[in-house]
Chain A
Amino acid sequence: MLWPLGATAGLLALGWLPRVQQSPQVAWAVWGAAVGLLAWQVLLALRFRSGGMPGLTFTTPRAQHYIQACCQLSIYAYWGQFWPPVYQYFPLLLAQMLFAYAFGMLLSWTRKQPYQMGLGPVPIILSTNLFMWFKDEYYPLQFVLIAVGVLGKVFVQWERDGRRVHIFNPSAFTLALFSLILITTGQTSMTWAQEIAPTIGLGPHTYKVMFAVGLVAMYNFSTTPVSATAAATLFIGSGLVMAIAGVPYFVDSDIPAAVFLGLHLLVTDPSTSPRTTVGRVIFGMGYGVSVFALYAILGALGAPTFYDKLLCVPILNLLVPTIDRLVTRLGDRPLFDRLGFSGPLGRANLPHMAVWVLFFGAMTMRGVTDGMHPGDALPFWQQACEAGKPKACDRMLNIEANYCRDNAGWACNELGRHFTEGRLVSADAERAFGYFSRACEARYQPGCLNMISEPTDAVVATAPRPFDLRLLLREGGPNLLEMNEPDLYARACRHGWTEACPKAAAAR
């Protein structure tokens, strides 16, 4: 009983840390979780007061737990370098881990089974929190999320290879379940999921870091067929859409950074993946195709597209026996053998990794990983919109809206212009006035003038100011407040802001 008591005490103590105290709701969530665990311990103590309490057995740390945890921590470390809230969030990660351990122990003992103490909960917590944080005011739900993950792992099991194993990847199961609930109830704003996803890409080498971390998992767990095939499916799909439609499928990337993270660290749980290389290739392709399809479906339904990467994993987990049966039916084929897909899992892992390294290198050379993506440039979307390319105008409006939110007065003024002119959106003088007001407060003088102009006057606009460019040119990374003006204009010229090209040339 000392272990859960210790975890509970730790949880209580964490409630006094500054990050937790920063929000009363978080503090009460942490203390509430601790009190709940304490009450459960009291009940168990009463139940087993005459003895017979199942104990603990310590298991040898498993590589798939500690290596995966190290990979995940590497991502957190890099992410936090460029987005400090990640580091500030660490006490809350610790609180969730203490909760998960205590919850797992008490659940086992309630079921009269000894608890196997290992590192299992660590990667589950880390993986879950790479994708979803409940906002402070709803923080109790973060503990519910963890509890559901533990319950899912324990209770949702099936027979596989003669062993009872969990059906679903524990973190992906809870993420998908909660995503579905949040979307169907229209409560996606309760979490920071949608907001934190772009912050993963703030680092200048995010894709390369994820790629490198992914190689560790690939080397140790032969996950190359899953991750590489999923990535290749998405890269190829995006490339095809760009070639056919002339606009990027995922707006400003060929694979959004959070999806790239997911295909390395979310869908690669060996316990819930097919057992053959061919099966894993199918599984990876399935993930890529599912993300592709869900992005379009969620967008069409007006739901946040962020959830594309989370919703499909449990379905793929459920399909694993079907995939295994299909592979058995396919049997050994010469092509599989030539591709290194036959034989025991991992037989050709290193050659497969080499192919993946070459493929990723080619994609990086093409400029569709880190660095500037064609969809990063607003002039690209303006031209695509003018040319009537599919969805280009909607995306241009969304991009302008994001920059307006970031306080780029130029972007707010453009939105005001659209609502005044009524060409891309229905004319709405009130919304136009509101956007002009935001532009003006961002010290963009044309916005102020548009606020006081006569309805018959033409909308006043200029090229983006240097301040606006520092936001508009950030390419998904941090703003460019420190960049000198010659570099800024050169970058603007590369983005297609033609007015900036003479300034860039003059500055040289």
Chain B
Amino acid sequence: MSTDAISGTREQAPTQESVVGHGPRWYTRAPLHFVIVLISAIWLLPTITLLVTSVRGIQDISTSIWWTILWKPHEFTLTNYNTVLHAATSIGMGRAFLNSLAITIPATALPIVIGAGAAYGFAWLRFPFRNTIFLTLVGLQVIPLQMLLIPLLRLFNQWGIAGQYPSLWIAHTAFGLPLTIYIMRNFMSGIPFDLLEAARIDGANEWSIFTRVILPLSTPAIAAVAIFQFMWVWNDLLVALVFTAGSDNAPMPVVVRTLSGAYDQGWQLMTAAAFISMALPLIIFFALQRYFVAGLTAGSVKG
């Protein structure tokens, strides 16, 4: 199985054309090409609408549709971005972007560091009730986020950390762990036992087997888990809303939502803010497409 889910091609099987010898000509396949181009156009249109609207002035947005910019390129402006980055809301998107980084980086690293050890334990260390505990963990993935919010908010209020970064680190780490462990354990248990035994014979203890054998070989799983956890936290609205709404530490989705909410400040700011919040994931998508798809697919069972 190829990791390249997007461009993955069939390995065997010559194509239909080559079997027949003289395949269908391009014009008999024209309707197929047309439909595919149409689908692609429809799927691109919303994102293009957002991008173009975000670089037009408020006056232009309400008087002519966005594709007017094609023949009036002088409409292009970056004012919206400038406004929204600095002070369109109580906190600007600039601060919100930094908040998102400050929340997401630890909330991605922690479940991986903590989860990798647990995954190794479940995969290769023998101890009583190993499978029972592991299956319980798998079962915990059924729990919706909504089941945690009220008690966690009370707890964080008591500890005085509600509205601060650590409340989000804790919530995302704990909620991300069951799936992180599940994916990494399944991967690690596929590593050949011979490798572990050889290390063992060479005198390695559990810790050095983990750091020198298991971790280096688990890079693909770690990359996949890192990407889905990063995307989950970066794009999360609900947890951020409950723990940071109204505070200066709110990440981008909360601020975007505020801009589009009760205080409707106009399309030009809402669209620029939304595009800023999408930029990093889109860069990751285009730069690391294979890992991105593998990661999001692996993490899709998350609730």
Chains A and B come from one and the same complex: no
